[in-house]
């Protein structure tokens, strides 16, 4: 056993463990295995399996293009409307499935929590990782759609990972917070789908943020997903997409704030999970 020297441990009532983040590192393989389990199970259980992560964004894209582009006739940027929608759907679907899966992750693995010790943060975090993998599948889809429309993405696409990172921070923060709240208040599971449904229309998924009057734009950016989605459009479509800096800064600020609140609340309540679940 390699870590023989690090194995001295003191458990004391009312004190946070000093080893927590070291433990998180020691259990890093569990991240991998839990994500792997969830993906494997999904593709084994559902008949359409992988098709599901393709169908969902495509159908949403078609509907949004029809509703917002054709019926409401909202203006597009210098790109076909389906591409405008899909560049926003990518981060949005990632966020929404990360949020719904991670908020249920503790309750769904109640048995593990009450029988085995491991840093509980692994559960919501690995749910986010599963959503991330779906994101990459959808990203390939975006490439296919761009080929179809013979659309060349902007060189700024190299900045896209930064916006993905921001989406990751938002999802993890919200996931930690909601999963912990879900253990304490069981009716949070009814609130999460509402947040997701509401958020879909509150975020610029089906339309461009330019539709929002300028005086409201700063307020609108309080939703951190606005910054993420605008960033995705800016980096992928490029031409004709203006980047609203103050809004983006507030998105970053709130995302980090949410992340910290999520971690702090999670750590605070974590010790009681096994007693409550």
Q: At what angle do helices 160-184 and 224-236 cross, to 10 degrees?
A: 150
Question: Distance between CA atoms of 10 and 111, rounded to whole angstroms?
Answer: 25
- Span 231-250, contacts to another protein by CB under 8 A: none
Residue with tokens 């009814």: 190
Q: Does 275 bind another protein (CB under 8 A)?
A: yes
- Span 124-143, contacts to another protein by CB under 8 A: none
**Measuring CA to CA, how many Å separate 121 from each of 30, 185, 224?**
11, 18, 22
* 189 to 208: interface string for another protein, x by CB under 8 A: --x-----------------
CB of 249 to another protein, least distance (A): 33
Q: Does 110 bind another protein (CB under 8 A)?
A: no
CB of 170 to another protein, least distance (A): 23
Phi, psi of 74 (to 5 degrees): -75, 145
Among 18, 22, 25, 40, binds another protein (CB under 8 A): 40
CB of 47 to another protein, least distance (A): 13
Please name the residues in contact with 190: beta carbons below 8 A apart, sequence gap of 6 or more: none
Q: Which stretch binds another protein (CB under 8 A): 48-56, 71-79, 181-189, 248-256?
A: 181-189
CB of 37 to another protein, least distance (A): 5
Residue with tokens 């609108």: 220
Phi, psi of 264 (to 5 degrees): -65, -45
Phi, psi of 15 (to 5 degrees): -115, 140
Q: Which residues bind another protein (CB under 8 A)?
A: 1, 3, 7-13, 17, 26-27, 29-30, 32-34, 36-37, 40-41, 44-45, 109, 111-118, 184-188, 191, 271-272, 274-276
């Amino acid at each position: 056993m390699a870590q023989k020297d690090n194995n001295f441990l003191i458990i004391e009532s009312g004190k946070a463990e000093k080893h927590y983040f070291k433990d998180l590192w020691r259990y890093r393989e569990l991240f991998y295995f839990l994500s792997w389990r969830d993906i494997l199970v999904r593709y084994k259980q559902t008949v359409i399996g992988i098709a599901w992560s393709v169908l969902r964004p495509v159908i949403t894209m078609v509907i949004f293009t029809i509703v917002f582009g054709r019926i409401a006739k909202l203006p597009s940027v210098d790109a076909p409307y389906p591409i405008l929608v899909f560049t926003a759907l990518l981060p949005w679907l990632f966020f929404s499935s990360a949020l719904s899966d991670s908020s249920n992750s503790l309750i769904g693995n109640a048995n593990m929590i009450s029988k085995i010790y491991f840093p509980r943060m692994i559960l919501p975090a690995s749910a986010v990782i599963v959503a991330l993998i779906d994101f990459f599948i959808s990203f390939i889809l975006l490439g296919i759609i761009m080929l179809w429309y013979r659309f060349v993405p902007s060189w700024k696409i190299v900045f896209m990972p930064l916006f993905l990172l921001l989406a990751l921070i938002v999802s993890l923060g919200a996931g930690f917070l909601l999963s912990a709240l879900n253990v304490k208040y069981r009716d949070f599971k009814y609130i999460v789908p509402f947040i997701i449904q509401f958020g879909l229309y509150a975020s610029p998924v089906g339309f461009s943020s330019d539709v929002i009057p300028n005086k409201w734009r700063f307020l609108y950016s309080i939703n951190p997903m606005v910054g993420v989605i605008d960033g995705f459009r800016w980096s992928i479509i490029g031409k004709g997409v203006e980047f609203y800096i103050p809004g983006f800064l507030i998105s970053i600020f709130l995302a980090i704030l949410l992340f910290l609140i999520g971690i702090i609340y999670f750590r605070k309540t974590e010790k009681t999970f096994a007693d409550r679940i």
